[in-house]
Structure 1
Amino acid sequence: MREIEINAEPVELYKILKFENLASSGGEAKHVISEGHVIVNGEVETRKRKKIFAGDIIEFGNEKIRIVVKPDL
Structure 2
Amino acid sequence: MQTFTLKGEFIQMIQLLKVMNWVEHGAMAQWVVEEGLVKYNGEVDLRKRLKVKVGDIVEFDGNKVKII
TM-score grouping bracket, smaller chain normalisation: over 0.9
Q: TM-score, normalised by structure 1?
A: 0.90
Q: TM-score, normalised by structure 2?
A: 0.96
Larger radius of gyration: 1
Consecutive unaligned residues of structure 2, counting only runs of 5 or more, are none
C-alpha displacement at 1:67, in angstroms? 0.4
Q: Superposition pairs for residues 37-56 of structure 1, below 5 Å?
A: 37-56=37-56
Q: Provide the alpha-carbon RMSD of the alignment.
A: 0.6
Moved over 2 A (4+): none
The 2-side partners of 1:35 and 1:2 are apart by: 23
Q: Which residue of 2 aligns with 1:9?
A: 9
Q: Which residue of 1 aligns with 2:24?
A: 24
Code of the aligned partner of 1:2: Q
Equivalent residues, number: 68
- Secondary structure of residue in 1 paired with 2:28: helix
